[in-house]
Structure 1
Amino acid sequence: MAETSPAPFFTEIARGPDGGEAHWLATRDGQRIRAGHWRPAGEALGTILMFPGRTEYIEKYGPFASDMTERGFAVLAVDWRGQGLADRALADRRLGHVDHFDDFQQDVAALMDHARTLDLPQPWYLIGHSMGGAIGLRALYEGLPVAACAFTAPMWGIRIPFALRPAARLLARFGAALGLSEKLVPTTTIEQYVQVTPFEGNTLTTDADMYAFLQLQMAKKPDLVLGGPTVQWLAQAMIECAALREKTSPDVPCVTFLGENEQIVSTEAVHDRMTRWPSGTLDLVPEAQHEILMEQLHIRTRVCDAIATHFKKHKLTQ
């Protein structure tokens, strides 16, 4: 079992259900990551394993945890290595870096040990957002014990402007040899996106209150800030997306939500995967951008209702 001990949990900025807790976890390769969980008031229908995207952290999912505990589910979220309060690889903690993409599976293993230690109610279900969608899909291939899964804007491919694709491929292939592995990817910033981008014209959400919520979190807890990715992260992400693309879909019931105004992940990769997932459904969400779980209330309500329905339908399949 992974070692655990109490960890800081910023209730005041999370806007989550009462009773949330966080713990430190030790991974098998010696990294310290953070996990947080919430339980519903009554008997739980199961536990949602929330796999966040790049730059994200437990407290960001407080509102989502409220949405899903109200629907009867416990929620367990994680700070992946290199973000949130988890160990970060580089001296400048704002740089988003990972040595190898499959290192995240060490975090998954520690998280699953933690879920067992907490005796979180089963069945377990997976939600993977953005980068967490790639980590989650890989975890399914590795035997993640979930009854069903859902993805929101999963990073099964990275949206790179056509004119920049040759440069991105060159960086991914030769960045290490040129000593650029730990350098910031050109066109990105060392600050977190919401710190330097006004609400008008942002690519994350059409909900002004949710955007202000994210900005407040960065202002109140600067240790959570994570800026752009390193060249090494980009190279590893591209390699992982290409490897996942070659695999058949896992035999796990799936629903994937994709905003019709998605501008961050490759929509082509999402459509391709879902056309090859026999037990999967693609749900295109009108008006929505990348942060589907942090969109306007009517969008969040529809999506959370659909997730709950999907998971309840497959409650007895585990």
Structure 2
Amino acid sequence: MEFANIPENPVPDGLVAQQVTSADGVRLRAAYWRPAGATKGTVCLLPGRAESIERYFETVRELLARRFAVAALDWRGQGGSQRRLTNPLKGHVDDFDEYERDLEAFLKQVVLPDCPPPYFALAHSTGALVCLRVARRSRLTFARMVLTSPLVDFGSRAPSRRVVGLAAGSLALLGLGDAWPPGAALARVEGRAFENNPLTGDQKRFERNRAIARALPQVAIGPPTIGWLHAACRAMDEASKPEFAASVRIPSLIVVGGEDGIVSPLAVERFVREMRLGSQIVIPGGRHEILMERDPMRGLFWAAFDAFVPGSDV
């Protein structure tokens, strides 16, 4: 099982690679690390759409320094996990229930047997929405969750969820669910420019992520398919109902960038108000990828993380 290992983003020492098989037979790439000496529990790193485990190596080292074990997963259709379609650039699911199967398999096959409790989630964007979907059914999954930029609604850089959902649903009914949406930019991450990007204001970390994709091209994917967008809109529609947020009984810290254009900060605020055990921090000037942002913003994130997660200190 291969991982990109480049000078600007070396593999953290002690990586243990593991293949996970979901309930519907999809092969998933996972990894875990344990710090030297006593541990304070395990943080489960769950990335966003189009991300891979390699993008979080810096975060892994920071968690290991806090004496947490770390377990990380590549969702189906991206990273080093099995692709659904013949074109490997198309990250596709028909329903977000598929991601829930991935998380459940990861917990059963990697986290519970190999990693010390208690278990905490650190999930981003799509991964954060999947965490919330699983958490609404069971409070036993994680002791606490830290969710960055959860995908509860599209931000200012996309049309409204209603428009996207109607268009994607109609095209999917015509048998075009596996296709890219009309006008989608097909450039992969390594071809994007730093200027005016919606992800991060930190050029060094932006270039590092491009270097990962160049070093191991098979972990990168292109835009979402029409079917993925339709599934995401249905998942966000469900999450927009007040009873959804109220059903999440796991203490949760939600962190969002004030200038996030991928996910709507206002929708995140509304969602948190409906939670029973949720709190929110807005990082001024932050874009979508808080953990890839400039150091002062990351410092705000880690201060909030350390205050929220029991036993988290450096």
Q: Which residue of 2 aligns with 1:10?
A: 4
SS at match of 2:172: coil
- For 1:76 and 1:125, how far apart are their aligned partners in 2? 10
Give 1:269-308 correspondences, 5 Å limit: 269-308=267-306
Shift of 1:239: 0.2
**Aligned twin of 1:3:** none
Q: Deviations over 1:17-50 (max 9, x none)?
A: 3111211111111100011112222311111111
| 1:53–1:132 CA contact under 8 A, matched in 2 | yes
- Residues of 2 paired with 1:236 and 1:70: CA distance? 37
CA–CA distance in structure 2, aligned partners of residues 142 and 295 of structure 1: 32
Distance change in 2, residues 1:49/1:277 (3 Å) = same
Gaps of 5+ in 1: 1-6
SS in 1 for 2:147: strand
Q: Distance in 1 between matches of 2:62 and 2:161?
A: 38
Q: Is the 8 A contact 2:258 2:265 kept in 1?
A: no
Aligned-residue offset at 1:170: 2.8
Partner of 1:127: 122
Per-residue deviation at 1:149? 0.7
Most deviating of 246-255 and 64-73:
246-255
User: In the TM superposition, what are the counterparts of 1:169-180 in structure 2 within 5 Å?
Assistant: 169-180=165-176
1:198 matched to 2:193: yes
Deviations 1:298-317 (A, max 9, x none): 22122123213211169xxx
What code does the residue aligned with 1:252 have? Answer: I
Does the CA contact (< 8 Å) of 1:249 and 1:273 recur in 2? Answer: no
CA-based RMSD = 1.9
Query: 1:259 and 2:257 equivalent?
Result: yes
- Structure 1 residue 9: Cα displacement: 3.0
- Residue 249 (structure 1) shift: 4.2
Q: Which deviates more, 38-47 or 224-233?
A: 38-47
Partners of 1:159 and 1:266 within 8 A in 2: yes
Runs of 4+ in structure 1 displaced over 6 angstroms? none
SS at match of 1:312: coil
Q: Given the alignment of the two structures, is residue 61 of structure 1 paired with residue 56 of structure 2, yes or no?
A: yes
Which residue identity is paired with 2:87?
D
Does 1:73 pair with 2:71? no
TM-score between the two structures when normalised by the length of structure 2:
0.92
Mapped to 2, the partners of 1:102 and 1:235 lie a distance apart of: 13
CA distance change for structure 1 residues 221 and 163 in 2, over 3 Å: closer, same or farther? closer
Q: Which letter maps to 2:33?
A: W
Q: Contact between 1:191 and 1:226, CA under 8 Å: does it hold in 2?
A: no
Structure 2 residues without counterparts, runs of 5 or longer:
none
2:309 is the counterpart of 1:311: yes
Name the structure 2 match of 1:151.
147
Taking structure 1 as reference, are residues 239 and 87 closer, same or farther at Cα in structure 2, changes over 3 Å only?
same
Q: C-alpha separation between the residues in 1 aligned to 2:157 and 2:64?
A: 39
Q: Secondary structure at the match of 1:125?
A: strand
1:106 and 2:101 correspond? yes
Q: Give the Cα–Cα distance (whole angstroms) in 2 for the partners of residues 163 and 23 of structure 1.
A: 39
Rate the CA distance shift 1:42–1:204 in 2: closer, same or farther, 3 A. same
- Report the counterpart of residue 4 of structure 1 in structure 2: none
TM-score where L is the length of structure 1: 0.90
What is the SS of the residue equivalent to 1:44?
coil
Deviation string, structure 1 residues 48-80 (Cα, Å, up to 9, x no partner): 111110001111110011111111211111010
Partner of 2:137: 142
Give 1:274 shift: 0.8
CA contact (8 A) 1:16 1:66 kept: no
Q: How many angstroms does 1:186 deviate by?
A: 2.9
Structure 2 counterpart SS, 1:36: strand
User: Is the CA contact (8 Å cut-off) linking 2:118 and 2:143 kept in structure 1?
Assistant: yes
Deviating more after overlay: 20-29 vs 138-147: 138-147
1:142 deviation in Å?
A: 2.8
Identical aligned residues as a percent: 31
